[in-house]
Structure 1
Amino acid sequence: MNLRRQLLLVSLVALTLPWAGCQYLRQVDTALAQGQIQAIEATAAAIAARLASAPQLIAPDPLRLSRPPGAQLYLSPMPSAPRVDGYGGDWRSRELEPRTLHDQQLSPLGQVTLGQVGNQIYFLLTVADSSPAYRDPRTDLIAGGDTVELFTAEQHYTLPVASQGSVSALWHNPREGRYERELRLRGRWTTSAKGYQLELAMPQALTGGSLAIRIRDRVSSDGSTPKHSASTLPSDGQPGRLVGPLPKLQAELDHFARPGLRLAIVDSEGFLLASNGQLRSAKPEPSPWLRSWVYRKLLSWEALPQLPENKLPLPSGNNRTMQQQWFAGPLRSRIGAVSMPVITRADDVVERPVLGQVLVLQSGEAMQSVTEGAAHRLWLISCVAAATALLFLFGYASWLSWRVRKLHRAARSAVDSSGKLRGNFPHSKARDELGALNRAFASLLGELDQYHQYLRTLASKLSHELRTPLAVVRSSLDNLAAGELDEHSRRYAERAMDGSARLSGILNSLSAASNLEASIHQAERESFDLADLLEVMTQCYSDAHTGHRFKLDKPEGQLPCDGAPELLAQLLDKLVDNACSFACEGSEIRLSAAVGPGSYLVAVSNDGPLLPDGYAHKLFDSLVSVRNDGDNAGHLGLGLHIAKLIADFHGAQLQACNHEDGCGVTFSLKLPAK
C-alpha cells in the first residue's frame, strides 16, 4: 500500500469527530428531556395540589366514592344525537371507548357504549350470541328468552330480545300487579354478524344518576336458567353511578392550559372528567422530514412504547405515587407523560382515598428540534472539517509521495548500465527526514564515486609504479642470462624471464585498457555504411584466422549508421577473438546483420562450450574471464569489458546467450540505426 493510501486511511480517524459529536448531542438531548419531564411534573403537581385543596371539583358526587370499582358507567359527551335505528352507524365515526361485559367465565359477552347529548342518554349494546332465544309471544313469560335488563336508581326494566323491531321496556307496577311498558325508553333491535344489537335512548332524569346493565343469555325461550350472564350490577343490588365530564372541573383545568400541552383529569377508575389542549403532531414538511427522521434515528434512545391511540396512558400498579413515562410518537418523536394522584390528605389514622389522577402530556418535538438543528450544524461542520482534512492529507501525501518517487528515480538513475556513477544526484535542502535521507544518499554516492575514480585510475597507477622495478628485474635477468650458467640455473632464469614477460604484458594491457576507456569518450562520430564495414572485417578475419571458416549473413544494400567505425571494428575484433578462442579448430564462425525497428542487430555466433550459469551479464565486467587456460594464456577478461564500453558509447546493447540447441554461444549487438 503506497503512502497516499496509508495517509488516506489514517485520515479516516477524522470521522470519529461526528461520532463524538453525536454522543455529546445524545447527552444534551437526555438532559433536555429530563428538564422537560421535570417541567411536566411541576405542572401536574400544581394541578393536583389545586384539586386536593378543593376536592368538590373532582368528586362532587359523594355517593360515587362509596360504590365499588367496575359498577360505574361512563357517559361520553356527543356533539349530536345519533339516529336510533339499531344499526349504530352514527357511533362508528365518534370513536368512543366501549365497555366490555364479561360472563361468569370472564369471557366477553357484549360491549356497551354510552353517550350523552343534553339531558338525553344514548347507548349502543352489541351481544355475541350465536343462537339467540327470542321471546315467544304465545307465552306470558316476560323473560322467557334472552333479555337485557336496566337498573336505575328507582326502577328495574326488562327488555326482551327481538330479532328486529322496536324495544319494549317493561317494568313491574306493584300497585297494578302487572308489567307495564316504559314509553320514555325508545330503541331498536337488529341482528348482527355475531348475535344481536340494541340502540337505545332514555332521559337522564329517568336514571336518577345511577344505571346498571345485565345481559341474560338462555338456550331456549321457556324461561329456563340463563346459560351466560354479564352485568355491571354490584353484589349489593344497587346500580353504579353514571360518570361524565364535570363542567366546573373543566373550567378550573382551563386555567392551566398552555400551547402544546395535553391536560386530562380522570377519576379513580380512569374515567375522563376533564381535558384540554392538544399535542403538537410531527407533520412531515415538504423537504426536511427525511432529514429529521434520520437525525432522530441517530439520536434516538432505546425502543419506546407506543402511545395508546385515542386513549390516555393511565398509570399502572400503585396509583398513589407519581409516575412518568416516555412514549413513541410519529416520525420517531417522543411524548412525555406524567401521572400525578389527587389525594386530599393523609394522616396517622385514616388514609384518604385517591380521588383521581392528573395526566399531563407534552410532545418532545421542540426539544428534538433543538437537537436536530445542532445535529444538522454538527454534520455540516464535520463534513467540511473532514473534507478539508482529507484534502489536506491527500495533498500532503501526494507531496510526500512525489518526493519519495523523485528520490527513487534519482537513486535508480545514479548508476548507469556499466556501473559508473553519473554524479548528478540532487541535493535536497529540506530539514525533514526525507531531506536527511536524500543528503545521506548523496553523500554515500559521492564517496562511492571517489572510490570508483580511484579504481579507474588504479590500473594506470599500478602500471606506472611497477614498470621501473620490472625493468630492473628484466635487465638483471638479461645480464644473468648473458653469463655462464649451468643447465639447472638456466632453466630457472628462463622461467623468470617468461614470468617477467607475462607481467610486462599484463601491465601493457592494463595501460591500454585505461587509455582506451579515455579515448572512447573522445572519439568523433561520423556516418558510415555498416554493411561495408562488416564485409571488410569478415575478409580480414578469414585471412587472420586461417583455422576457422567465416560466414557473413546480411541484407542487400547499405546499412547507414552513425558512430565511430574504428571503435566498432575494435568491438568486432574482441567478439571474433573471443569466438575463435572457444570454437573448435576448423569450425565456422557466423557473422550476421539484421534490420529491426529503428535498429540493427549484429551477431557473432560460434560452436563450442556454453556460458556458465549466471555469467551472461558478468562477462562484460572488468577482469572477468571464464577461460580454463586464462592464467597461462594471459587473458585478463578486459576484451569483453572494452567491447561493452564501445557499445555504451554508441548507445547500443551488448548481450550474450547460449544457443537453444546447446551447441554454442551468440554475442549480439543492438545498434541504433541512423
Structure 2
Amino acid sequence: MKLRSQLLLLSLITLSLPWAGCQYLRHVDAALTQGQMQTLEATGNAIAARLASAPQLIAPDPERGGRPPGAQLYLNPLPQPPVVDGYGGEWRAQKFKPRQLIAEDGEPLAQVTLGKNAQRIYLLLTVKDRTPSYHDPRSTLPASGDLVEVFTARERYILPVASQGPVKALWFNPRRGKYERELRLRGRWSASTRGYQLELTLPAALSHGELALRVIDRADSSGGPPAREASTLPADGRPGKLVERLPALQQELTHFARPDLELTVVDQEGFILARTGSLLPPEEDDSAPKESTPWLRDWFYRQILDTPALPPLPDDNYPDALTKNRETTGQWFRAAPDSTAGSDSRIGAVSVPVITRADEIIERPILGRVIASQSADALQSLTESAARRLWLITAGAAGLVLLLLLGYASWLSWRIRRLQRAASNAVDASGRLRGDFPKPFIRDELGALNRSFASLLAELDHYHQYLRSLASKLSHELRTPLAVVRSSLDNLSAGDLSQESRRYAERAADGGARLSSILNALSAASHLEASISQAEKEAFDLADLLQVLTQSYADAHPAHRIALNCPPSPQPCYGAPELLAQLLDKLVDNAVSFAPEGSKISLTLTRDKRGYVLAVSNQGPLLPEGFGRKLFDSLVSVRDDGGKAGHLGLGLHIARLIADFHQGSLKASNREDGQGVVFSLELPSDLPRE
C-alpha cells in the first residue's frame, strides 16, 4: 500500500470528531430533557399543593368519592350542538374517546360517547349486533326486541330499537300503571352492517347529575329473555355521577398557565376536570401554513440524537400510567400527526397526585392528578441547530485535515520517488558511480536517509576506484618477484636435474609464463582504458570499414565462413575507427573461439531511427541464464577450459568500454533459433554539427 493510501486511511480517524460531537449532543439533549421533566414536576407539585389545600375545587361533590369506580360517565365539552340525525358525523370530527360497554362474555357489545352543550346532554351509542331484533309494532309489550335503557337519578326510560327513524322513549307511570312517552328525550336510530346506532339528546336537568345506560340484545322480537346485555349501572341500582369540566377549577388553573405549557387536572378515574394552555408557542398561528421538515433531515437528527421510539399521545387521553397510580410519574410521548403540537414532536408529561391533607385518615385518598405537558420542540430545535453546526464544522475540519494529509503524503511520496530515482540511476550501465546524487535540504528522517545513501555511494565510489586501479598495481608489484622466479627456474633448468625434478621445474616455468601473460593482459587493459578516453573521433564510412575488416577476418580464420550483410551505399558514422575495429576484433575472436569449425559467422549492419545496429552471430553453446549483462563485466568469462587458456574475461569488457565511448550499447543474447549467440552493437548515426 502506498504512503498516500496509508495516510488516507489514517485520515479516517478524523471521523471520530463527528462521533464524539454526537455523543456530546446526546448527553446535552438528555440533560435538557431531564431538566424539562424536573421543571414540569415542580410545576405539577405546586398546582397539586394548591388543590390539596382547597379540595372543593377538584371534588365539589362529596358523594362522588363514594360511588363505585366505572359507574361514572364523562360529559365531553361540545363546541356546538351536534345535529341529532343518527349518523354522528360531528362526533367523529371531535375524536372523543368512547366508553366501552362489555357484555358478560367479555366481548364489547357497545360504545357510548357523551357530551354537553348549553345545558343539554348529547349521547352517541353504537351497538355491535349483526342480527338486531327490532321492536314488533304488533306486540303488546313496550319493547319486544332489542332494547336500550337510560337511567337517571329519578327515572328509568326504555328505548325500543328500530331500524330507522325517531326515538320513542317510554317511562313507567305508576299512577296510571302503564308506560308513557317521554318527549324530552329526542333522538334517531340508524342501521349499519355491523349493528345499529343511536343519537340522543336530553335536558341536563332531567338527569339530576346521574346517568346510566343498559343495552339488551335479544335473539328475536318475541320479548324473551336477553341473550346478551351490557350496562354502566352499578350493582346497587343507582346510576353513576356525570363528570364534566369544573369552571372554578378551570379559573384556578389559569393562574399557573404559561406559554407552550398545557396543564390538565383529572379525577380518580382519569376524567378531565380542567385544562388550560397549549403545546404550541403563543406566537405560532394555526392558520398560517406550516413549513414541513424534510423526513430525511428528521431521520438524520434522530440517528444523531439516538431518539428512541415513543408512544403516540392522543389529544384528550393519557395512559393509565399517568392517571391511575399514587406516585409521581413522568413519560415522553410522540405527538400524533394531526395534533396541534406538530408531527413527530416530543411531548414530556409529568403526573402529580393530589392527595387530601386530612390527617385523621390513615390512607389519604387521591382527589385527582395534575398532568403538566410541554413540547420539546424548543429543545429539539436547539439540539438540531447544534447538530447542524457540529456537522458543518466537523465536515470542514475533516475535509481540511484530509487535504493537508493528502498534500503532505504527496510531498513525502515525491521526496521518496526522487530518492528512489536517484538510487536507481546512481550506477551507469558500465558499473560506474555517477556523482550527481541529490543533496537533502530538510533535516528529517528522509533527509537523514538521503545523506546515508550519499555517504554509502561515496564509499562505494572510493572502493570502485580502488578496484579499477588494482589491476595496474598488481601488475606493477608482481613483475619483479615474477622475474626473479622465472630467472631462478631458468638457472635451475640449466643444471643437472633428475627426470622427476625436471618435470616439476617445467611445470613451474609454465605456471610462471601463464602468470606473466595474465599480468601483461591486466596492464594492457588498464592502459587501453586510459587510451580509449583520449582517442579522437572523426567522420568515416562504416560500411567501408566493415568490408575491409571482414576480408581480414576471413584470411585470418580460414576454418570458418565469415560473411557480411551490409547496405551497398556509404554509411556515414562519427567515431574512432581504430577503436571500433578493435571492438569487432574482440567480438569476432570471441565468436571464432566458440563456433565449431566450418560454421558461419555473420556480420550484419542495419539502420533504424535511433542509429546503426551491428550484429555478430555465430553458432555454438548458448549463454547461461542471467549472463546477458554480467558477460561484459571485468574478469567475467563463461569458457569451460579449466583456466588453462588464460582467458580473464577482459575482451568483452574492453568492447563495452569502446561502445560506451561512442555513446552506444553492447548486448548479448541467444539466437531465436536456439543454435548460437548474437552480439548487438547499437551506435548513433548523427554527425556532429559544426
Q: Deviations over 1:340-370 (max 9, x none)?
A: 1111126474323211111111111112222
Superposed, which structure 2 residues align to 1:222-621 within 5 Å? 222-280=222-280, 285=291, 290-291=296-297, 293-308=299-314, 310-315=316-321, 319-329=325-335, 332-345=344-357, 347=359, 349-475=361-487, 485=496, 488=499, 496-621=508-633
Q: Which residue of 2 aligns with 1:120?
A: 120
Give 1:597 shift.
3.4
Secondary structure of the 2:197 match is strand
- Matched residue type, 1:135: H
- Matched residue type, 2:133: A
CA contact (8 A) 2:260 2:280 kept: yes
CA distance in 2, matches of 1:485, 1:536: 53
Q: Deviations over 1:590-630 (max 9, x none)?
A: 11112233232211111223333433332211112222336
Q: Which residue of 2 aligns with 1:176?
A: 176
CA contact (8 A) 1:624 1:637 kept: yes
Secondary structure of the 2:80 match is coil
Of 144-153 and 595-604, deviating more is: 595-604
CA contact (8 A) 1:630 1:636 kept: no
Of 20-29 and 368-377, deviating more is: 368-377
- Matched residue type, 1:260: D
CA distance in 2, matches of 1:346, 1:249: 20
CA contact (8 A) 2:270 2:324 kept: no
1:331–1:396 CA distance, 2 compared to 1 (3 A): farther
Secondary structure of the 1:616 match is helix
Secondary structure of the 1:241 match is strand
- Matched residue type, 1:629: D
CA distance in 2, matches of 1:97, 1:491: 134
CA contact (8 A) 1:292 1:372 kept: no
CA contact (8 A) 1:44 1:358 kept: yes
CA distance in 2, matches of 1:269, 1:2: 73
Give 1:73 shift.
1.0
Secondary structure of the 1:377 match is helix
Q: Which residue of 2 aligns with 1:196?
A: 196
Q: Which residue of 1 aligns with 2:338?
A: none
Secondary structure of the 2:458 match is helix
CA contact (8 A) 1:209 1:242 kept: yes
1:164–1:499 CA distance, 2 compared to 1 (3 A): closer
CA distance in 2, matches of 1:397, 1:411: 21
- The unaligned stretches of length 5 or more in structure 2 are 336-341
CA distance in 1, matches of 2:581, 2:343: 92
Query: What's the RMSD between the two structures over aligned residues?
Result: 2.3
- Matched residue type, 1:508: N
Q: Which residue of 2 aligns with 1:47?
A: 47
CA distance in 2, matches of 1:527, 1:497: 48
- The unaligned stretches of length 5 or more in structure 1 are none
- Matched residue type, 1:110: A
CA contact (8 A) 2:322 2:350 kept: no
CA distance in 2, matches of 1:156, 1:100: 21
1:62–1:423 CA distance, 2 compared to 1 (3 A): same
Secondary structure of the 2:415 match is helix
Of 324-333 and 437-446, deviating more is: 324-333
CA distance in 1, matches of 2:621, 2:86: 121
Superposed, which structure 2 residues align to 1:124-139 within 5 Å? 124-139=124-139
CA distance in 2, matches of 1:593, 1:25: 82
CA distance in 1, matches of 2:344, 2:479: 102
1:491–1:654 CA distance, 2 compared to 1 (3 A): same
CA distance in 2, matches of 1:289, 1:101: 41
CA distance in 1, matches of 2:353, 2:568: 119
Superposed, which structure 2 residues align to 1:26-65 within 5 Å? 26-65=26-65
Give 1:633 shift.
2.5
Normalising by structure 1, report the TM-score. Answer: 0.95
CA contact (8 A) 1:345 1:351 kept: no
Of 3-12 and 519-528, deviating more is: 519-528
CA distance in 1, matches of 2:571, 2:316: 104
Of 571-580 and 466-475, deviating more is: 466-475
Give 1:309 shift.
5.2
1:493–1:262 CA distance, 2 compared to 1 (3 A): same
CA distance in 2, matches of 1:466, 1:35: 102
1:207–1:513 CA distance, 2 compared to 1 (3 A): same
Secondary structure of the 1:83 match is coil
- Matched residue type, 1:594: T
- What's the % identity of the aligned pairs? 65
Give 1:226 shift.
0.7
CA contact (8 A) 1:210 1:241 kept: yes
CA distance in 2, matches of 1:326, 1:433: 59
CA distance in 2, matches of 1:106, 1:495: 130
- Matched residue type, 2:231: S
CA distance in 2, matches of 1:196, 1:82: 19
Normalising by structure 2, report the TM-score. Answer: 0.92
CA distance in 2, matches of 1:518, 1:332: 94
1:139–1:588 CA distance, 2 compared to 1 (3 A): closer
- Matched residue type, 2:351: S
CA contact (8 A) 2:328 2:352 kept: yes
Secondary structure of the 2:602 match is strand
- Matched residue type, 1:614: G
- Matched residue type, 1:14: T
1:332–1:173 CA distance, 2 compared to 1 (3 A): closer
Secondary structure of the 2:176 match is coil
Give 1:287 shift.
7.1
Q: 2:658 aligns with which of 638, 642, 646?
A: 646
Q: Deviations over 1:439-462 (max 9, x none)?
A: 111111111111110111111112
1:486–1:137 CA distance, 2 compared to 1 (3 A): closer
Q: Which residue of 2 aligns with 1:157?
A: 157
CA contact (8 A) 2:540 2:577 kept: yes
- How many residue pairs get aligned? The number is 673
CA distance in 1, matches of 2:544, 2:293: 87
Secondary structure of the 2:309 match is coil
Secondary structure of the 1:631 match is coil
Give 1:565 shift.
2.2
1:179–1:663 CA distance, 2 compared to 1 (3 A): closer
Q: Which residue of 2 aligns with 1:627?
A: 639
Q: Which residue of 2 aligns with 1:21?
A: 21
CA distance in 2, matches of 1:106, 1:146: 19
- Matched residue type, 1:122: Y
